[in-house]
Chains A and B, each alone.
Chain A
């Protein structure tokens, strides 16, 4: 049951179990490198702009944004969907691959889950601010209240969204933390610093690694993994219903749920690739995040990119085939040609065409190329959300409703701010949490031995 075939060596460099603990703990035990401090400073500046913009939005209202009656969802919803998409990959990575018993996940899942938690936190800022009166946020929670009691509308995708994202955040954070408990215990037992011993000891919750603890730990990981696998599909499907249930040209289609889920996995895997290359390069984890790991992610990206291309073409084909003039107008005169041509083609080229370069083994093994492509994909995915949100809303059924949309500096500031928060979160993760799941890596090292024999 537990014997699955693995690809290549999972850990290179003839490491022993002791080496794993020492190597993964090294960044926690040493002074933070200079590049870390520089990036931290830069990300703090971005965050300050973000906090200022959030302050202005809350105190003066969303009139400070570029949105208007026609385009009620501007950058806020674009960025919300973008961040949720990125947040997806962590779960997709660690949980799909856990359920499928893919051993190569062990080097990557910790970082992917960290990315999930931080990205979902960033995402949740946008709908909350978009509500306008953020201090009435709790109205969306269904509880017996003095307003009737007036219950929420359980048929509304916006409520589904709230529930799906809160559940997703809680579950991915618990899953992430659960995986860290044995590693915190390793740090507690190995570190020489008294402060670290106390802090990591507290967070390791008294873990000793007895077989009774391990079997329950594994059972819980599989229960959480099994049910969270459903969430990977459901969360972004629910986000897509925010659009698909709305009667707008370009939105009201059944392709949206799978299209969004695949898009989310695509952007998330690209972000995982970016992060893993950084971890590998700057923390010298080449023996743990091997070429074959990056190769595996690149192959998934090329496959998902094909699905993305198919989805784009299907949408265009159906707008023509349906004979619906509004759909035709949206796709052919407002996306492929027309006002939003650059955004449409930026999306198409970055997501459907450029990743096809990864068919070449030579390019797939070039770290610089992988890094650049992973960034391009995330830019492309941002444009995809721009296309969906803005092009459909600016020109709907009635020309009298048509309006232009330009984001204000405040809107841009919130986005830049979330990029700063994300970077800060990831940097703190690099600094204080073992970047690679120590106990899981140790568990798969025996497969190295059988491979070497």
Chain B
């Protein structure tokens, strides 16, 4: 994997990081990526990143639920009807539990698949770790070297409390 050149700003706390992200946004400088040891919701808002996974999951729920109901109808009524003590073949109330559990199972599998696809998280992925401390106790801003006003970024990083600024 070809390593890109970056300017990296390191913070050691969450609060200055959020303040800095706001300042960069006001100045109109785009931060390419923020790496943090835990999720920070203010950063999501400032960066305007959103996830539509819950909408997808809702749709998966409908697909899963309706398909299992259709399948049970097919198996128990059309394909091989059996008489269990004279009970109706399409016994809707007692199909509900299977519908519920299968829907949950389907949503889980599909959401996981969507997550893996969208976030590109899979075993054996080759990655470019910018700063290994970002999964430990440091919060990191990354700017691409190309097309970034180096001096402005560096002074903004320093004035907002970055403990380190370096090129990589």
A residues sitting closer than 8 Å to B (CB atoms) are 2, 16-18, 21, 142, 148-151, 153-155, 159-160, 163-164, 166-167, 170-171, 174, 178, 181-182, 185-186, 188-190, 202-203, 205-220, 222-224, 227-228, 230-231, 234, 238, 241, 439-440, 442-443, 446
Contact = CB atoms under 8 A, between A and B. Distances in A.
10 contacts: A163-B98, A171-B108, A189-B132, A189-B133, A202-B124, A208-B35, A211-B44, A223-B107, A227-B104, A230-B104
B13 to A, nearest CB: 9
Interface stretch (B2-10, B50-58, B145-153, B157-165): B50-58
A338 to B, nearest CB: 33
Contacts of A231: 101, 104
Contacts of A208: 35, 127, 129-130, 134-135
Chain B interface size range:
35 or more
A442 B133 contact: no
Contacts of B104: 167, 171, 227-228, 230-231
B36 A209 contact: yes
A222 B136 contact: no
Interface string B61-94: 1000000000110011001101010010001001
A234 B105 CA distance: 13
B156 to A, nearest CB: 19
Q: Is the interface of B mostly helix, strand, loop or mixed?
A: helix
A213 B121 contact: yes
Interface of B: 14, 33-41, 43-44, 47, 49-51, 53-54, 57, 61, 71-72, 75-76, 79-80, 82, 84, 87, 91, 94-95, 97-98, 100-102, 104-105, 107-109, 111-112, 115, 118-127, 129-130, 132-137
Given A216-B118, A222-B54, A209 B105 contact: no
B144 to A, nearest CB: 14
Instruction: From B36, B40, B72, B132, name the one whose CB has the most chain A CB atoms within 10 angstroms.
Output: B36
Q: Which 7 pairs of residues, A with B, have the shortest CB-CB distance? A: A206-B125, A17-B137, A189-B132, A443-B38, A219-B51, A214-B39, A219-B53
Contact of A206 (B76, B100, B121): B121
Contacts of A202: 123-124
B119 A190 contact: no
Contact of A218 (B39, B109, B126): B39
Nearest to B15: A446
Contacts of B72: 154
Given A189-B129, A220-B111, A227-B108, A149 B80 contact: yes
Given A182-B135, A185-B135, A224 B108 contact: yes
A244 to B, nearest CB: 13
Given A188-B135, A208-B134, 7 more contacts: A154-B94, A208-B127, A219-B53, A220-B112, A228-B104, A234-B100, A234-B101
A185 B35 CA distance: 12
B76 A151 contact: yes
Contacts of A17: 37, 136-137
Nearest to B53: A219
B121 A151 contact: no
A16 B43 CA distance: 21
A358 B163 CA distance: 49
A155 B91 contact: yes
Contacts of B40: 211, 214
A150 B80 CA distance: 7
B34 A210 contact: yes
A220 B115 contact: yes
Given A154-B95, A223-B107, A227-B107, A211 B33 contact: yes
Contact of B51 (A2, A209, A216): A216
Contact of A153 (B33, B50, B84, B109): B84
A185 B38 CA distance: 12
A153 B135 contact: no
Nearest to B38: A443
B84 A216 contact: no
B86 to A, nearest CB: 12
Given A2-B41, A174-B108, A220-B53, A148 B33 contact: no
